[in-house]
Amino acid sequence: MLSGREVGRRGLPGRDRGPKGSKNKCELEKETGLLRLDRVLFSAVHYPANYGFIPRTYCDDGDALDVLVLGQEPVHPLTLVDSRAVGVMRMRDEKGIDDKIVAVSVHDPAFADYTDKGQLPPHVLREIQRFFQDYKTLEHKQVVVEEMLGPHDALRIVREAIDMYRQLRCGDLNVLT
């Protein structure tokens, strides 16, 4: 299990649920541990990075913490990807705050040396932001995307999500159903 202290030192074990370039929106079924196709994206967009979640995290929206892992190639769903957080995009949708950790694959030589969102090409950051501004438009759902924060904020949010997961597992977290 990943502890809050280990997050910065060991990196993030992102688990993929939607490959880069895909329009499929998959959700993890908590009961079975399998991916279920939730929908094909309505808009003429595709995921700009491998889209997944950080295992053993829990957020206010009732799901694991989302992560976009930048790399050269699409990754098969449910693959663990060792990654490093370089930033976090704060987003609000119909369910409330829905943070997206932006990370780089530490085993991809084209991305492994990045440590901060400010080192990424500005166009990559614009693509990610634009994707989340547009991907629910044809579903008539409002999304607000805030300016991306840096790696320190990303790691703080990951640690908070790990702590919430522990509280949930211990029965110390009240969950609204």
pLDDT digits (tens, 9 = 90+) for 66-103: 999 999 999 988 899 999 999 999 999 888 889 999 99
Q: Where are the domains of the chain?
A: 6-168
Number of Cβ within 10 Å of residue 120's Cβ equals 18
pLDDT, mean of residues 171-177: 75
pLDDT, mean of residues 121-134: 94
Question: Tell me, what DSSP letter sits at residue 163?
Answer: H
Q: State pLDDT tens for residues 27-49.
A: 888 888 888 888 898 888 899 99
CA distance 172 to 104: 33
Are 2 and 13 in contact by the 8 Å Cβ rule? The answer is yes
Are 127 and 48 in contact by the 8 Å Cβ rule? The answer is yes
For residue 61, is pLDDT > 90?
no
For residue 164, is pLDDT > 90?
yes
Total-model pTM: 0.88
For residue 12, is pLDDT > 60?
yes
Q: What pLDDT shows up at residue 6?
A: 45
Q: What pLDDT shows up at residue 135?
A: 86
Q: CATH says 6-168 is which class?
A: alpha beta
For residue 110, is pLDDT > 70?
yes
pLDDT, mean of residues 147-166: 96
More confident residue, 12 or 41: 41
